[in-house]
Amino acid sequence: MTLEGTNTYIYGEGPCAVIDPGSEDAGHLEAIRAAAGERGGIGLVLLTHSHGDHTAGADQLGAEVVLPAGGETHAGLRVLATPGHAADHVCFLSDDGVCFSGDLVLGLGSTIVPPGDNSLTAFMASLRLLQAKEIELMAPGHGPWITDPAAKLAEYVEHREMRERRLLAALERGERSRAALLAEAWDDIPIELLPMAAMAMEAHLEKLEGEGRLPDGLDE
């Protein structure tokens, strides 16, 4: 679920900031300390969100740990509130157009947006917020760097809108079975991913309900 693991970034120098230290594996933490030592040591640990695969080793680096709010600036990075994958998710944007995107946008595949608190509506707004920024390079929480952020963001938006179109088409024909809706709107995924697709569908249904577009009579 984390591709090849969680990406940790070291930003700035004299001292530097560590973004998403991730694992509490001793070797991983020592590698962070060594790399940071070449940049004047660790002045601050920044988190994109509170999920354990990003935070487990954070309190073992001997520096202040901060999960900031949108609008703040830390270590020269502007903080953008980007809820969706998690309610407390933020991205960090540098003055030269590098965006540390956490789990909002991944280097490979699509991120998980769980239902609850109208998370998909928030997720789509977060994607559009990034689309409005001048981003030259995206450094995701998992997977390789994203060298064409505009294309990746457009791909993410279209992917969710495609699922919504397919879901709405089935609902408009009168389908009310969750199992049938899932089978139709997510008919292109491997069977082992159906539980994740079912969670994604619930987020879509929640969004439609919040917008007043969910018909009555959906099964439980």
Contact 22, 56 (CB under 8 A): yes
Cβ–Cβ contacts within 10 Å for residue 188, how many?
Answer: 7
Contact 56, 8 (CB under 8 A): no
Amino acid identity of residue 64, one-letter, is E
Amino acid identity of residue 170, one-letter, is A
CA–CA dist 84, 155 (Å, integer): 17
Among 111, 97, 98, smallest CA distance to 142 is for 111
Please identify which of the residues 20, 25, 53, 88 carries the catalytic annotation.
Answer: 53
Structural tokens at position 207: 């969004």
User: Helix, strand or coil for residue 124?
Assistant: helix
CA–CA dist 84, 92 (Å, integer): 16
Is 53 labeled as catalytic in the residue annotation?
A: yes
CA–CA dist 16, 12 (Å, integer): 5
For the annotated catalytic residues, the residue numbers are 53
